[in-house]
């Protein structure tokens, strides 16, 4: 009997908390409008800039930006400023650089929510200075929520900025603090996958008073106690948000009311080679090396094409740089060997294509490196390549420029003059 009462009280509390985050449409009750997507695979928001809020909707209250980022402030009872992306993502990675608000009963919340009531949370409570809470829901099922939330240690979240990240794939969900995985839920562990978050979600960030005196005792206790508004204002800060969508598309549509990932139709889907990245100012970034070829003559008639794949992890990018450098060195040696020996290369064996990483699945918990490092590594590799005789080959200062200017003629002329 005692356990039943405890469970009933806790379930009632979590029902109230969950009600704070009602979806825009309940996909189980009716046919919902299509979920607006985003064809950019990777978007970064610098929330110290007001313009970064252009793709976010403010649902209540006012948000201002400053040197510490977007400010979410409770000035009085009833305040709950919140922002939400105006698009959905379907599996991906979300990182938020946040400093939580102090104050008993004050909840600094970063969460994702779908029309099927799937939810993933970070919640920092103002009265707890050494931990915060992780939660998830599947299909709005709160019957076992006391097993679905955990406390995770974190150093003074109300005074220090920390980077809080989700890595959400079809197989598992991880919570990461400052680059360290602190919790992972496998799909099969969530009632055989039926309660695993698996439908398109929007990112939501906000602050609210779980300790408001008007709330039921269970909610106030969960929030850490009753909020004293005489100590307002209470402010949380969010400096940046980084979003990677594993399934960039124009929209997502529920084909039935099952709430399963299989029921989601992807409209206007964009492959990894077509999606682009952007910063909050809309600057496009490309990150992939697509191909590199060697002509039958053994001379460097190479083409370097670029394709965007902004959902690439740090490990993948590093691996590709190393692979690219190795290919460039090998190609340069082949070029020099063919010219010095006077031999020709059979066309069937002369083409070497660099691998392109097209998968959106993360290979590490790291976030995404700047694409300029890839270009720099390629330039360095081409300029440092050596011929088989030990002579440094420096056709041009840039591999791309060499290709455009017809470096094979310049290289051949330089080699002939060298022998003379």
Query: Known catalytic residues?
Result: 119, 123
State whether the Cα torsion 278-169-182-105 is positive or negative: positive
CA distances from residue 36 to 4, 56, 111, 173, 415 in whole angstroms, order as listed: 42, 13, 18, 23, 58
- Please give the DSSP secondary-structure letter assigned to residue 334: H
Question: Would you put residue 136 in left (φ > 0), alpha (ψ -120 to 50) or beta?
Answer: beta
What is the Cα 218 distance to its own chain's centre? 35
Distance separating alpha carbons of residues 147 and 220, to the nearest angstrom: 20
Q: Helix, strand, or coil here: 245?
A: strand
CA distances from residue 216 to 4, 13, 15, 16, 184 in whole angstroms, order as listed: 19, 8, 11, 8, 31
Q: Are 357 and 413 in contact (CB under 8 A)?
A: no
Tokens matching residue 90: 């379907």
Question: How many residues belong to the chain?
Answer: 420
Q: Which helix (H) or strand (E) covers residue 243, if one does? A: strand 234-245
Distance separating alpha carbons of residues 130 and 110, to the nearest angstrom: 18
Distance separating alpha carbons of residues 51 and 53, to the nearest angstrom: 5
Pairing, β 276-278 against β 40-46: parallel
Q: Cα(first)–Cα(last) distance of the chain, in Å? A: 99
């Amino acid at each position: 009997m005692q356990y039943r009462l405890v469970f009933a009280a806790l379930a009632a509390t979590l029902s109230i908390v969950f009600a704070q985050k009602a979806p825009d449409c309940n996909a189980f009750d009716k046919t919902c409008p299509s979920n607006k997507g985003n064809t950019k695979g990777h978007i970064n928001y610098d929330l110290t800039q007001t313009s970064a809020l252009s793709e976010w909707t403010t649902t209540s209250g006012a948000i201002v930006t400053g040197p510490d980022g977007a400010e979410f402030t409770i000035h009085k009872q009833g305040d709950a400023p919140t922002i939400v992306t105006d698009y959905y993502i379907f599996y991906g990675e979300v990182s938020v650089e946040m400093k939580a608000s102090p104050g008993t009963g004050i909840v600094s919340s970063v969460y994702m929510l779908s029309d099927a009531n799937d939810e993933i949370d970070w919640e920092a409570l103002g009265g707890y200075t050494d931990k915060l809470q992780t939660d998830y829901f599947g299909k709005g099922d709160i019957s076992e929520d006391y097993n679905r939330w955990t406390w995770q240690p974190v150093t003074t979240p109300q005074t220090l900025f920390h980077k809080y990240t989700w890595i959400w794939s079809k197989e598992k969900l991880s919570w990461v603090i400052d680059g360290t995985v602190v919790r992972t839920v496998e799909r099969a562990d969530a009632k055989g996958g039926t309660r695993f978050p698996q439908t398109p979600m929007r990112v939501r960030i906000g602050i609210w008073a779980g300790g408001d005196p008007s709330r039921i005792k269970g909610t106030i206790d969960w929030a850490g106690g009753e909020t004293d508004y005489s100590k307002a204002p209470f402010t949380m800060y969010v400096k940046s948000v980084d979003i990677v969508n594993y399934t960039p598309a124009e929209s997502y549509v529920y084909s039935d009311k099952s709430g399963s990932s299989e029921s989601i139709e992807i409209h206007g889907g964009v492959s990894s080679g077509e999606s682009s990245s952007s910063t909050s100012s809309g600057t496009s970034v490309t990150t992939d090396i697509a191909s590199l070829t060697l002509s039958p003559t053994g001379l460097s008639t190479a083409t370097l094409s670029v394709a965007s794949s902004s959902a690439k992890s740090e490990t993948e990018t590093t691996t590709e740089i190393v692979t690219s450098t190795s290919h460039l060195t090998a190609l340069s040696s082949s070029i020099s060997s063919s010219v010095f020996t006077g031999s020709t290369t059979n066309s069937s064996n002369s083409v070497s294509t660099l691998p392109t990483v097209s998968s959106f699945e993360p290979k590490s918990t790291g976030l995404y490196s700047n694409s300029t490092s890839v270009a720099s590594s390629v330039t360095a590799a081409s300029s440092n390549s050596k011929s088989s005789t030990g002579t440094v080959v420096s056709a041009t200062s840039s591999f791309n420029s060499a290709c455009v200017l017809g470096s094979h003629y310049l290289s051949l002329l330089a080699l002939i003059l060298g022998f003379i």
